[in-house]
Amino acid sequence: MFVSGGIKKVNDAKNDDNFVAIGQYLLFTKKGYKQIGGYERIKGSIIDDYAFARLVKKEFRSLYYLDCSKLVYTEMYPDSLSHCWSGLKKFLYAGVKITPARRIAVTIVMILWTLLAPLMIILTSLYSDSWGLLGTIVFSYALLLLEFNLYWQNKGSHRWLIYLFFPVQMMMFIVLMLTSLVESTVIKTTTWKGRKYSPDLSAGLDDFESPNPSNELFSAQSQYNQR
């Protein structure tokens, strides 16, 4: 949701760069599904829910994300750490391919600051007499951790202890992303639950001219938002 820009922007028809979807719960009308082009439109995608979200938002401006986490939830990769690693690396780079560049840039800045801020705090404490500089770095880093905490506090159980090792987690994420990059662009195959796939990184990127906002999908969405 960080990369998508937040639920409010996802549900704003005017912001076509903000989109997200959860694969376990996708709801279409039959006519809308056919108008989008169905799964044939994103054939070969390893991240079909996100690809669908992009197409619906950019071409029909009719995407609505409803947070029902207090009613029902599903665990992404519950079996083991190995299962989680395999699951994430198969789609991370594919997700980057269809994410707007400015969203990627913001995410990179956040990751870099997560890694650099603790180092800067240590170095400033040891070699600088500027309490103002130290306070600014500590405050900005604390705000970043608070933002992550506010997002995740209603998404499942987690402990404050993880924030002590947050830079380590970000380093693991970078390694995971690089692994996904190599697997997707060099090896060009990924293995998931014993099966090998050759993802099509261009799936879902074949945009056509967006229809007029008066189309049926958009109208239905507008009526829903007014209720």
Residue 168 tokens read as: 């380590």
pLDDT range class, residue 133, cuts 50, 70, 90 = very high
The answer to whether residue 63 is domain-embedded is yes
The answer to whether residue 2 is domain-embedded is no
Is residue 194 scored above 90 in pLDDT?
no
**Domain residues for 64?**
7-196+203-226
The answer to whether residue 62 is domain-embedded is yes
Strand runs (DSSP E) across 144-206, as ranges?
A: 190-192, 195-197
For the whole model, what pTM was predicted? 0.74
Q: What confidence score (pLDDT) does residue 216 get?
A: 45
Is residue 226 scored above 50 in pLDDT?
no
Find the mean pLDDT for residues 174-178. Answer: 93
Q: What confidence score (pLDDT) does residue 156 get?
A: 58
Q: What confidence score (pLDDT) does residue 136 get?
A: 94
- The residue with tokens 């995740």 is 152
What's the number of domains the chain is made of? 1
The answer to whether residue 187 is domain-embedded is yes
pLDDT range class, residue 227, cuts 50, 70, 90 = very low
**Percent of the chain residues topping a pLDDT of 90:** 19
Helix/strand/coil (H/E/C) assignment for every residue in the chain: CCCCCCHHHHCCCCCCCCCCCCCCCCCCCHHHHHHHCCHHHHCCCCCHHHHHHHHHHHHHCCCCCCCCCCCCCCCCCCCCHHHHHHHHHHHHHHHHHCCCHHHHHHHHHHHHHHHHHHHHHHHHHHHCCCHHHHHHHHHHHHHHHHHHHHHHCCCCCCCHHHHHHHHHHHHHHHHHHHHHHHHHHHHCCEEECCEEECCCCCCCCCCCCCCCCCCHHHHHHHHHHHC
Is residue 177 scored above 70 in pLDDT?
yes
Find the mean pLDDT for residues 200-216. Answer: 58
The answer to whether residue 29 is domain-embedded is yes
Q: What confidence score (pLDDT) does residue 212 get?
A: 45
The answer to whether residue 1 is domain-embedded is no
pLDDT range class, residue 158, cuts 50, 70, 90 = low
Q: Give the residue, 3 or 162, on which the prediction is more confident.
A: 162
Residue 95 tokens read as: 């997700």
Q: What digits encode the pLDDT tens for the residues 9-30? A: 888 888 888 888 888 888 888 9
Q: Distance between CA atoms of 55 and 57, rounded to whole angstroms?
A: 6
Is residue 169 scored above 60 in pLDDT?
yes
